[in-house]
Amino acid sequence: MPGRVKWTPEALARLGKVPDSEIAHALCVHPTTVGIKRRALGVAAWTSPWTPERLKLLGAMSDIQLAKLLGVKRNSVWAARVLLAIPAFQRQRTWTPQEVALLGTMMDKEVAQRLDRGKSAVTFARQARGIPAFMRGKSHPI
């Protein structure tokens, strides 16, 4: 019968989790049609996770940290921050002599985890100091 919507399990599962317009686009129907189905099933409408209070947190910490705090995907935080032209959080932490001493003694990824720093920050700090990368099976002077 023409005009009938084929409600897939995937589309039904997304009701209330994304805007009605997004589901409508996927099903090639009007958003009102999706809203009617959603209300008939007793599903509340989707609401944006970006309240004014949450928007103030963008750029105040890393996208990953904020995503974990808010229970949203990292890409959602990144997209909101970029859309609003908010620069990424830059943690400028001075390297202590003890932290520098770890550079090159193990894989950069391991140093990053141990020091709670990003891998790229560890790699940059090591390279800037002329410290060779750690290679398993090779002994390094400590």
Residues 13 and 59 in one domain: no
User: Residues 61-75: what's their mean pLDDT?
Assistant: 91
Task: Show which of 83, 106, 127 is a domain's final residue.
Answer: 83
Cα separation of 108 and 115, whole Å? 10
Cα separation of 13 and 80, whole Å? 24
Task: Show which of 67, 83, 99 is a domain's final residue.
Answer: 83
pTM above 0.75, yes or no: no
Range(s) of the domain holding residue 135: 91-142
User: Residues 101-126: what's their mean pLDDT?
Assistant: 93
Token pair belonging to 133: 């990368």
pLDDT band at 2 (very low <50, low <70, confident <90, very high): low
Q: What is the DSSP letter of 81?
A: H
CA angle (122 as vertex; 121, 125 as ends), nearest 5: 85
Number of domains in the chain: 3
**Portion of the chain with pLDDT greater than 90, in percent:** 73
